[in-house]
Structure 1
Amino acid sequence: MKPVIALVGRPSVGKSTLFNRLTRSRLALVADAPGLTRDRQYGDGRMGDRPYLVVDTGGLAEGLEPTGKAPASIVELVAEQARQAVAEADAVILLVDGRAGLHPLDREIANHLRRLGKPVWLAVNKTEGLPPETAVAEFHALGLGRPHAVSAAHGEGVRGLVQAVLGTLAVAPEEAPAEEALPRIAVVGRPNAGKSTLVNTLLGEERVIVYDQPGTTRESIYVPLERGGRRYILIDTAGVRRRARVRDVLEKFSVVKTLQAIEEANVVILVLDAQAGVAEQDATLAGYVLEQGRALVVAVNKWDALDAPAREWLTRELHRKLDFLVFASAHYISALRGEGIAALFPSVDRAYASAHASLSTPRLNRVLQQAVQATPPPLIRGRRPRLKYAHQGGKNPPRIVVHGNLVAALPKAYRRYLANAFRKAFRLEGAPVRIECRQEENPYRPRPGATKKTSTKKSDRAGGGRRARIYKNKMV
């Protein structure tokens, strides 16, 4: 297995910036605000031929020492996430702020890490423009060995720090398959719909922070998951509110991360809050998922909190407001109690298979002809379009290209009819089908700029004259 390196420290010391530097990505949100990171974030890094795993953690506002009680606040939940990251790690990098100087909380965290008996490396961040010896002088008092002067924002001293950490860890072979080849499942929805609770239930552990407060999750958390003998990448995302209500800059960044997670996903689980009903924002978010061409599964959470009349009303609202999701399977679940979860992933597997299905061209043409015979396309400027043949033009989502005359002017309603016909014939569940129409050119239409050719043969001119004289004599 790859060596695991955990980044810990006080809030706003640059852990997420260093995480993005080590992973050469922008997975972690970075802003000039303390307490931005809450859940632990994993990322792959590489130094030469040495791969490793980096864990970003939230800022420790009250140290790492466990209280012995169940976490009751966001600060305690963040500290619990950091303790789990340290427990999983092979080495720990304690990050401190070189410009703010030594803080009493730095001493407390260092004392706790020292007692764990794991390799701990001290990195003094934000030392750009300062003499290294002067910048790290006071941090020798932490008793963690020689401090490393680094600048996560500019990359200064980072390479030497990672080389020193990896030099003490055993070399491990790389694992396969790569995460990019695994199905990516994004869990999206409005704030406080139960997305993080669902992720924790699927994982069987408190992997992400769950708190009775909207906006608890701020980043998209990528978590490996194995279920039923198959491996996935599960993505927990921040809740998306209406654009008019999003005013905080950090929330805007969180929404952007959620939209990016939808684009990267293969299948999206749309979580609805049964107690709040089906809102306009749910339909807007579902529409965005379809625009991106992602397979979709609907999970109506908190179903156990409704009585029979409320359930019947919500089912009608679901069919009325989300009627454009007729191809997606809906599951009524309770993420907190684990009810209805077992049937969720079989639908995810079917949606993923439908999105990547290979469609036979002969069968596509048979389905096309049957659909046209059952319901011919409407007249366009007095002429009926002629649909000649179809073939598959892409996957994820399935894209079917239809060739013919006047097909570019086919109305959207008829294209939806064709998409439903193909979906029903090939039993495509949970995946949107896109119809692309390619109109064939008229071979007899003169090309732009081309001039009409006239005959220069003497016989043609003479023949034309004879025909004209004959016609004139008959008229006379």
Structure 2
Amino acid sequence: MTTPTPVVALVGRANVGKSTLFNRLTRSRDALVADLPGLTRDRHYGQARWGGRDFIVVDTGGFEPTAEQGIVREMAKQTRQAVAEADVVLFVVDVRAGLTAQDHDIAAYLRRLGKPVVLVANKAEGMRESAQWAEFYELGLGEVVPVSAAHGQGLRSLVEAALAHVPEPAEDPHEAEARARAEEGVIRLAVAGRPNVGKSTLINAWLGEERLVAFDLPGTTRDAIRVPFERQGRRFELIDTAGLRRKGKVFQAVEKFSVVKTLQAIEGAHVVLLLLDATEGVTEQDAHIAGFILDSGRSVVLAVNKWDAVDAYQRQCVQRSIEARLVFLKHAPLHFISARQRQGIQALWGSIVRAYESAMIKMPTPLLTRLLHEAVAFQAPRRAGHVRPKLRYAHQGGNNPPVIVIHGNALEHVGDAYRRYLEARFRKAFDLVGTPLRIELRTQDNPFA
């Protein structure tokens, strides 16, 4: 069983630097940052990798556990949800502002939950030898880790302290080998999408299909359910993000949704079926999930559900919104279905299998090199001053997603447009469907330099 990616939630009162810390940990600028309290309101998710460990970071708004009304109450609900999903909580305080009554309230709430908490004294630049942040020991949450999110100081110690609460499981190599043999040839399929787009309806339609065998398999501690089943001689493992119940109750399954479950399901899959709602078009949340799928390198199949519930004009609007907001998923097969009416759901299986085969394809080095030379002969890369990049040979560097490594000279001058040109040539030659294709350019060292 694949171990779920650890989840780290950032919690604290407003304007203590949670979003700045989020951007540092994820090495991104995804979270809005300004010297204004209350800028972040919803939960915000991002991927992070430190010291060879992957984890998911959740940014939250200013937390007031005792809030009873208004937007502050709604923000508190969002923070409680983030804490419930998390393996570790980073409680961020402002060392320059000092200890406040609100910090005491948050600490009391976190102590009651009993979850692992790391107390982070932010804005501690130039104060590591100072005793000013020692007052935060009053909160009774153990050691205080001083950092400066704005300057990137102390982050490695912080990550080590956080991930110490979720150690990597020691795995028996014989057990890993046996599992690998058992999973060989099994297509892991994640069904992802917003709440109420019809994930459960589609899954239930699949499980009720003739020539389809399914049974329950206990999942992870997050109650994610993996359903192994077989269809027309192909073995699948459905990584369910909709909260399936036992087979006897599957047709009364209640739609559940957790962003964390969806992100973990995507990372553990070979192929992701991204389900959209025809009655609402492509929303910002759809685009966010689609971007995460692309960043994870997973194959994707798009399905627009509830196609029977919209008229011709709405269908045109949906198609235009897909072209505009999901332009980066041009390689993904697109299907229009009605899970409730069981219309178009059979064609999904063909695209899922093709996307898996494209992700796991073997590309012989002689063929790749020949295709590379043909592409260069048809259109050579542009000169950069007196230098023209020379692309000499190519080989496969991995799969799921496929990676093509190209060697040559002065390849640092190859532009993004030429990369896209090469990708299109390789895609057409190998008939790749659904999967991203990554191209790595490696310049050979000049022995005479």
What TM-score bracket applies, with the shorter chain setting the length?
Answer: 0.5 to 0.7
- 1:363 equivalent to 2:332? Answer no
Contact 1:219 1:257 in 2 (8 A): no
- Paired with 1:24 and 1:320, the residues of 2 have a C-alpha distance of 35
Residue in 2 aligned with 1:373? Answer: 377
Q: Which residue identity does 1:306 align to in structure 2?
A: V
8 Å CA contact retained: 2:389, 2:408: yes
Aligned counterparts of 2:392 and 2:2: Cα–Cα separation in 1: 49
Aligned pair 1:389/2:393, yes or no? yes
* Paired position in structure 2 for 1:199: 203
How much has 1:194 moved relative to structure 2? 1.1
Matches within 5 A, 1:68-147: none
Residues 190, 282 of structure 1: 8 Å contact kept: yes
Q: Which residue of 2 aligns with 1:267?
A: 271
**Residue 221 of structure 1 contacts residue 236 of structure 1 at CA under 8 Å; is this kept in 2?**
yes
Q: Which residue of 2 aligns with 1:235?
A: 239
Determine if the alignment matches structure 1 residue 439 to structure 2 residue 439. no
Aligned-partner residue type, residue 186 of structure 1: A
Give how far 1:327 is off.
Answer: 1.2
- Residue 273 of structure 1 and its aligned partner are, at CA, apart by 0.8
Aligned to 2:57: none
Question: What amino acid is the match of 2:448?
Answer: Y
The aligned residue for residue 280 of structure 1 is 284
Q: What is the TM-score of this pair, normalised by structure 1?
A: 0.50
Are 2:404 and 1:400 equivalent residues in the alignment?
yes
Choose from 216, 221, 224 the match for 1:220. Answer: 224
What is the identity percentage for the equivalent residue pairs of Structure 1 and Structure 2? 55
Distance 2:320 2:371 in 1: 32
CA distance in 2, matches of 1:253, 1:305: 23
What is the CA–CA distance in structure 2 between the aligned matches of 1:225 and 1:270, rounded to whole Å? 20
Unaligned runs of 5+ in 1: 1-22, 30-173, 209-217, 240-251, 446-476
Distance 1:403 1:234 in 2: 39
Which whole-Å CA distance do the structure 2 matches of 1:257 and 1:279 have between them?
19
Residues 157-196 of structure 1 aligned to structure 2 (within 5 Å) = 178-179=182-183, 182-196=186-200
Using the alignment, how far apart are the partners of 1:253 and 1:309 within structure 2?
Answer: 30
State the Cα distance separating 1:280 from its structure 2 match.
2.3
Relative distance call for 1:379 and 1:279 in structure 2 (3 A) is farther
Q: Which whole-Å CA distance do the structure 2 matches of 1:290 and 1:359 have between them?
A: 21
Q: What do you get for the CA RMSD once the two structures are aligned?
A: 3.0
Partner SS, residue 379 of structure 1 = coil
- SS of 1:281's partner is helix
What is the total number of aligned residue pairs between the two structures?
Answer: 257
C-alpha distance after superposition, 1:187-212 (max 9, x if no partner) = 0011211111111111118x99xxxx
Q: Is residue 219–residue 254 contact of structure 1 (8 Å, CA) maintained in 2?
A: no
SS where residue 445 of structure 2 aligns?
Answer: coil
Deviation at 1:301? 0.6
- What is the TM-score when the length of structure 2 is the normalising length? 0.53
How far off its partner does 1:260 sit?
A: 1.4
Higher Rg of the two aligned structures: 1
Cα deviation for residue 24 of structure 1 reads: 11
**Does structure 1 conserve the Cα–Cα contact (< 8 Å) formed by 2:301 and 2:351?**
yes
**Partners of 1:400 and 1:312 in 2: CA distance:** 37
Is the contact made by 2:281 and 2:317 (CA closer than 8 Å) also made in structure 1?
no
Cα separation, 1, equivalents of 2:180 and 2:391: 46
2:319 to 303, 315, 319: 315
**1:403–1:440 Cα contact (<8 Å) kept:** yes
**CA displacement 1:216-256 (0-9 Å, x = unmatched):** xx8532111211221100112159xxxxxxxxxxxx99322
The superposition leaves residues 116-164 of structure 1 with CA deviations (integer Å, 9 ceiling, x where unpaired) of: xxxxxxxxxxxxxxxxxxxxxxxxxxxxxxxxxxxxxxxxxxxxxxxxx
Structure 1 residues 180 and 262: alpha-carbon distance in aligned structure 2, compared to 1, 3 A threshold: farther
In structure 2, do the counterparts of structure 1 residues 426 and 181 end up closer, same or farther at CA, with 3 Å as the change threshold? closer
Structure 1 residue 407: Cα displacement: 1.1
Q: 1:373 to 1:314 in 2, by over 3 A?
A: same
Partner of 1:303: 307
Gap runs ≥5 in structure 2: 8-177, 216-221, 244-255
**Is 2:241–2:257's contact at 8 Å kept on the other side of the alignment?**
no
Per-residue CA deviation, residues 386-437 of structure 1 (Å, 9 max, x unaligned), is 1111111111111100011121342223212211110111111111111011
Q: Does structure 2 conserve the Cα–Cα contact (< 8 Å) formed by 1:179 and 1:233? A: no
Q: Distance in 2 between matches of 1:381 and 1:26?
A: 49
User: In the TM superposition, what is the alpha-carbon distance from 1:379 to its structure 2 partner?
Assistant: 2.6
CA distance, structure 2, for counterparts of residue 420 and residue 282 of structure 1: 26
The 2-side partners of 1:180 and 1:203 are apart by 22
Deviations 1:53-83 (A, max 9, x none): xxxxxxxxxxxxxxxxxxxxxxxxxxxxxxx
Counterpart-to-counterpart distance in 2, 1:335 and 1:253: 18
Structure 2 letter corresponding to 1:311: R
1:261: Cα distance to partner?
Answer: 1.2
What letter is aligned with 2:188? R
1:291 is aligned to: 295
Give the drift of 1:376.
Answer: 2.1
